[in-house]
Amino acid sequence: MKKVINLLLLLLLTTVGSYLVTQHPVYSQSEPNIEQQADFQKHFESLGVKGSIMIYDQNRDFFYQHNRDRNDTPFLPASTYKIPNSLIALETGVIKNDVDVLTWDGIERGLADAPIDEWNQDLNMRLAFKYSAVWFYQVLARKIGHQRMQNFVTKIAYGNQNIGGKEDIDQFWLEGELRITPRQQIDFLRRLQQNDLPFAQKNIDLVKDIAIAEETDNYVLRGKTGIATSVTPQIGWYVGYLEQNDHVYFFATNIDVISDKDVAARLEVTKLCLQDLGLL
C-alpha cells in the first residue's frame, strides 16, 4: 500500500511540474536584469568625450552600459529635473496646462554670457521644456514652494531627495545639494513610462507628450538634456526612453562638458549607441 501511495505522489508531482514548465517557460536568453556586452567606448573616444551611458531593455530586463562606476555616481540633475518639476507644477496647480503662459520679466538670460533668444520671451511649458528655459522653471519652483516641492521629491524618491533649504528653492537642481545617478535616472523614467508616480494621469500624459524629441513611423523618442554649469568639469546629461513597437528602451547619458562641441556630443553619443543596438 505504501508503495502505491508513493507511486501516486510521484506521478502527481511529475504532472504538476510539467504543467508549470508548460505554462511558465524559463526565459532562456538571459537572467533577469543582467548586463549585456556592447562596445560603446568607441563612440565616446571618436567624439573625444569622457562619460558614461546606460541603456535598459525593459522587455528583456537587461541592460548595456559603458563606465559602470560613473553610472552609479551621483551628479546634479541640472535641466533633467524639468521632468519632475513639470509634473509637480501641474499637480499642484501652479500652472494649468502646457499652453498657460508665464510673462518674461525682460531680463536677458543665457549661457556663458551669451543670451539665448528662445528664453527671452513669454513662454508656456511646452516651449520652456523644448528650449530648456531656466527662468520659467525657477518661477514654477517658487510658486510650488519649498515644503510642497520637498514632499513630492520624497514621494517619488528622486535621487538623494535633498533640495536644501527654503532659500534654495529655485537653484537646488542647478547648484544645490540634489544629486542623482544615471541608474536612478533610468529608475525614475521607468516609473514615469509605467504611470507609477503619484500624479494625476492627465499630468503624466501631458509631460510624456511635451518630452517627445523625435517621432517617426518606427519609434517615439522622449528625452531631456541638461548641463550642470556650477561644477568643474561641467556635467552634461541626456536622459529619456525610446518606444519601438511594443518594446521600451531607457537611456541615461552623462559626460564631462569641456568645450562647446561636447554640448552636441550628449545627443550624438546616445544616438550612436542606440544605433549599435539597431534601435534607430
192 — phi, psi (to 5°)? -65, -50
pLDDT of 86 > 50? The answer is yes
pLDDT of 24 > 80? The answer is no
Among candidates 95, 50, 55, 46, which has minimal Cα distance to 203? 95
Query: Is the Cβ–Cβ distance between 254 and 51 less than 8 Å?
Result: yes
Q: What average pLDDT does this structure show over 35-51?
A: 95
**Catalytic annotation present for 86:** no
Q: Which helix (H) or strand (E) holds 257?
A: strand 247-257
pLDDT-derived band at 2 (thresholds 50, 70, 90) equals very low
pLDDT mean across residues, the chain: 90
pLDDT of 134 > 90? The answer is yes
The string over 170-195, giving b where at least 16 C-beta atoms fall within 10 Å of a residue's C-beta and e elsewhere, is bbbbbebebbbbbbbbbbbbeebbee
Instruction: Give me the numbers of helices (H) and strands (E) for the chain, helices first please.
Output: 10, 11
**What's the whole-model pTM score?**
0.87
pLDDT of 63 > 60? The answer is yes
With a CB cutoff of 8 Å and minimum separation 6, the contacts of 183 are 54, 71, 72, 252
pLDDT reported for residue 16: 38
Amino acid at 92: T
pLDDT reported for residue 50: 98
C-alpha 265/C-alpha 46 separation (Å) is 10
Q: What average pLDDT does this structure show over 198-207?
A: 98
pLDDT cut 70: percent of the chain above it = 89
Among candidates 67, 68, 64, 62, which has minimal Cα distance to 34? 62
Q: Which CATH superfamily is domain 32-276 in?
A: DD-peptidase/beta-lactamase superfamily (3.40.710.10)
Q: Where in the chain are the domains?
A: 32-276
C-alpha 195/C-alpha 205 separation (Å) is 9
> For the ranges 111-120, 194-203, 212-221, 271-280, which has the lowest average pLDDT?
111-120
Tens of pLDDT, residue by residue over 169-191, are: 999 999 999 999 999 999 999 99
Only one residue has cell 520652456, namely 128
Among candidates 182, 174, 166, which has minimal Cα distance to 81? 174
Q: What average pLDDT does this structure show over 163-167?
A: 98
Which of residues 208 and 114 earns the better pLDDT score?
208
Q: What average pLDDT does this structure show over 2-10?
A: 46
C-alpha 236/C-alpha 238 separation (Å) is 7
Instruction: State the greatest distance between any 2 C-alpha atoms of the chain, in Å, as a whole number.
Output: 94
Q: What average pLDDT does this structure show over 103-132?
A: 94
pLDDT reported for residue 33: 74
pLDDT cut 90: percent of the chain above it = 85
Helix (H, G, I), strand (E, B) or coil at 70: helix
Only one residue has cell 563606465, namely 67
Q: Which residue among the candidates 52, 79, 86, 132 is catalytic per the annotation?
A: 79
pLDDT of 12 > 80? The answer is no
pLDDT reported for residue 176: 94
pLDDT of 279 > 90? The answer is yes
User: Residue 84: is the preceding peptide bond cis (ω within 30°)?
Assistant: no
pLDDT reported for residue 113: 72
pLDDT of 14 > 60? The answer is no
Q: What average pLDDT does this structure show over 223-251?
A: 97
pLDDT reported for residue 112: 73
In this structure, what DSSP letter does residue 75 have?
A: B
